[in-house]
Amino acid sequence: RGDCDVAVLPFENSFAGEVSSVTDLMFSGSLYVNQVIEVEAEQNLLGLPGADKSGIRKVYSHPQALAQCAEYINGHGLETRESSNTAVAAKRVAEKQDPTCAAIGTAEAASLYGLEILEPRINTSRTNTTRFASFSRMLRLDTKNKRKMDKHFILMYTVKNEAGALAQTLNIIGAHNYNMYNLHSRPMKELLWNYYFFVELEGDIATEEGSSMLRELAPLCDRLKLVGSFYTR
């Protein structure tokens, strides 16, 4: 609606994979990715002050955080309840005032809602990192920065239901010397058993090579969207 300049959303975790709801928004929405930031994600068990971690029976958190801590959750036989985000989970535990309930989230969430860290770093992976994308209404194709090896861009597209259609698109990408950093498919909600493809590539799309590649891809794709262009850090 134009109320904010940017929206920052997590779209991929190094352990739990993509945040599918955000990927779907990239495909169907009208915003563009202009920056990607990697943030180390430390998940903690948050409970009421004085609660005993051995007495916890139920944990609340975002599905991604629950997935990142699956080994701990399963090892302790805990029930899970999903929340829209980890801060909401912490707030709910604080409001319930039930010492058998805990949230999984950050130290900041614990401080904000008066909870204690009953056990730190319960995420399974010790290199747990989340990639956040900054979305805006405008697509930036910045050509001033010359660090071409650090430039990435994201394409999303559907292909015709024909033999070899996807392979043809990948061959075109390879022929233009763009390296695929990430490739996966997502189901299209409105069409049963139809999929769109998410491709993150290394290189600069704002070149003649990039324009030529897009022109060659267009006839093979029912839908083709340049979702974003950004420098990695």
Asked whether residue 161 carries a pLDDT value surpassing 90, the answer given is no
Average pLDDT over residues 164-191: 93
Residue 126 confidence (pLDDT)? 80
Residue 2 confidence (pLDDT)? 86
The three-state (H, E, C) secondary structure of 107-145, written as one string? HHHHHHCCCEEEECCCCCCCCCEEEEEEEECCCCCCCCC
Mean pLDDT of the chain: 92
**Confidence at 233, pLDDT banded by 50, 70, 90:** low
The tens digit of pLDDT for each residue in 123-139 reads 998 888 999 999 999 99
Residue 9 confidence (pLDDT)? 94
Residue 193 confidence (pLDDT)? 82
The tens digit of pLDDT for each residue in 68-126 reads 999 999 999 999 999 999 999 999 999 999 999 999 999 999 999 999 999 999 999 88
Asked whether residue 197 carries a pLDDT value surpassing 80, the answer given is yes
**Confidence at 149, pLDDT banded by 50, 70, 90:** very low
The tokens 């290189």 sit on which residue?
A: 203
Partners of 88 in the β-ladder: none
Interaxial angle between packed helices 208-217 and 165-175, expressed in degrees from 0 to 180 and rounded to the nearest 10: 170
- 108's CB contacts (< 8 A; 6+ apart) are none
